[in-house]
Amino acid sequence: MAAEGGGRIVVVGAGPAGICAAAALVYAGIRPVVIDEAPRGGGQIFRRPPDGFARPAEALYGLDAGAARQTHSAFDALLPRIDYRPNTLVWNIHARSVHVLEQAGGRDAIPYDSLLLATGAMDRVVPFPGWTLPGVYTLGGAQIALKYQGCAIGRRVVFVGSSPLLYLVAYQYARAGAEVAAVLDTAPFTVKLAALPSMLWGGATFAKGLYYLGWLKARRVPIVSGVTPLRAEGRDGVERLVWRAADGGERDTGCDGLAMGWGLKSESQLADLAEVPFAFHAGQRQWIPQADENGRTPVPGVYVCGDGAGIAGAEAAALAGERAALALLKDRGHAPDDARLTAIARKQARLRRFRRGLEIAFPFPEAMARNIPDDTLLCRCEAVTVGELRRWIGELDAGELNRAKAFSRVGMGRCQGRVCGPTAAEIVAGECDASLESVGRLRAQPPVKPIPLQNSPAA
């Protein structure tokens, strides 16, 4: 590739963003390295079941079956033209090399000249008492159990949170034959109406949401808005969710499976290790890697795209992936494809309006997050309670998230704060009566995920 002015291009992630980025690179005659933690391409949203599973795309992805099939076949067509490394974890980025660990145990350091990070997202959760009981999962986790394994997380499942996934996964469970005990939306119904003007920009996506809601209602699945989950109870696993209704009354719903989630949060640890600066995004209540509209970061040769660069959804991620690859190509001296760039930008503008609608329709439950009872576990890795974090904030004036982490160990466990981080930030901000932005963000540390001792780096 030296003729095009540059060496190796590495793409991390094989979801919609990574696949579309790789496709644009291949189209330009480049053979990128594509590293993905999963055994097959598609990302979380279009995750493909293992060999031997038989359900058609319609059963797995519902109304998104077309997009899923298109993504998979696009990726399959790329396979002979890319250096594909599935089952491979990028655990560090250092000195312009990505350090990888293969599931089979192999280690490698892959140097790059251009790096495109398409690392995706995970569920954003807000703890409540009992959330670590067996049977309690994220909405995304509940969906993976069904889509990827043909299993339900319980016989009788409650769905709680505020997220487009809330209605989608409940619908998928009911369709597949699970009993949906209740769908409990923590947002009041009025915010959905306030979001309507922006939501209409979503077109098909918006219509799909209405379809799921209507389908569930027609089957008399209890759907309640303005709910506050109070606690999950059970002995060896969840047996019921106790919740407060909008009228203040306490109710409980029996269940042996419980799925929870409040939208998504970016998986951005690798951008941090690549020394990309971060910017606070008030609408998403999170810090995201700094980049221009093409995904170009201030670090030369490093690009970010898809949900890992700020939550925008699968359709937007596919566009952002292609756009970042086009920027990368331009920076390496390829002739720019301006017509294609304009077409992408137009679609992105429409999706941005819809995204703002989603942020209004599915708000983060700030009051709930800041008023979690003291005895609730916040860090599920190391079993640190919300009260312990509050005590450190008060006694040692820990008004910055990394300082609070050093004292309380919240965010220091195996998951590195992926799960508890957003709520920890809300609690620090709430206790200090400060803005969410002012408490800062948890810094990523290598390895970004646990790796076996024998596979630790020699240096």
Residues 336, 121, 286, 362, CA torsion sign:
positive
Which of residues 33, 82, 122, 181 is near another protein by CB under 8 A? 122
In terms of DSSP H, where are the helices of 279-332?
314-331
Distance in Å, CB of 377 to another protein, minimum:
7
Taking CB under 8 A as the binding criterion, the range among 161-169, 203-211, 288-296, 446-454 that sits at the site for another protein is 446-454
User: What are 278's strand-pairing partners?
Assistant: 289
256 is a site residue for another protein (CB under 8 A):
yes
DSSP E strand boundaries for 234-379? 240-244, 250-254, 257-261, 264-266, 278-281, 286-289, 302-304, 377-379
35 closest CA partner among 102, 123, 120: 102
104 is a site residue for another protein (CB under 8 A):
no
Please give the single-letter amino acid code of residue 307. Answer: D
Which of residues 8, 27, 49, 376 is near another protein by CB under 8 A? 49
Please give the single-letter amino acid code of residue 80. Answer: P
423 is a site residue for another protein (CB under 8 A):
no
Please check whether residue 157 is in contact with residue 164, taking contact to mean a CB–CB distance below 8 angstroms: no
Token pair belonging to 356: 């703002």
Nearer Cβ to another protein, position 330 or 449? 449
Which of residues 6, 15, 41, 135 is near another protein by CB under 8 A? 135
Count residues contacting another protein (CB under 8 A)? 55
Which of residues 92, 138, 198, 294 is near another protein by CB under 8 A? 138
Question: Does the bond joining 447 to the residue before it have cis omega, within 30 degrees of 0?
Answer: yes
446 is a site residue for another protein (CB under 8 A):
no
Which of residues 11, 24, 115, 419 is near another protein by CB under 8 A? 419
For the segment 220-239, give every residue that binds another protein (CB under 8 A): 235-237
Residues 447 and 438: their CA atoms lie apart, in Å, by 27
Taking CB under 8 A as the binding criterion, the range among 1-9, 135-143, 211-219, 325-333 that sits at the site for another protein is 135-143
Please give the single-letter amino acid code of residue 459. Answer: A
Nearer Cβ to another protein, position 54 or 339? 54
Nearer Cβ to another protein, position 220 or 235? 235
Please give the single-letter amino acid code of residue 411. Answer: G
Residues 430 and 244: their CA atoms lie apart, in Å, by 22
Token pair belonging to 431: 């206790």
155 is a site residue for another protein (CB under 8 A):
yes
CA distance between the termini of the chain: 30
Taking CB under 8 A as the binding criterion, the range among 45-53, 163-171, 199-207, 282-290 that sits at the site for another protein is 45-53
Chain residues in the site for another protein (CB under 8 A): 37, 44, 49-55, 59, 103, 122-123, 132-138, 140-141, 144-146, 148-155, 176-178, 235-237, 256-257, 267, 377, 380-383, 413-415, 418-419, 449-450, 452
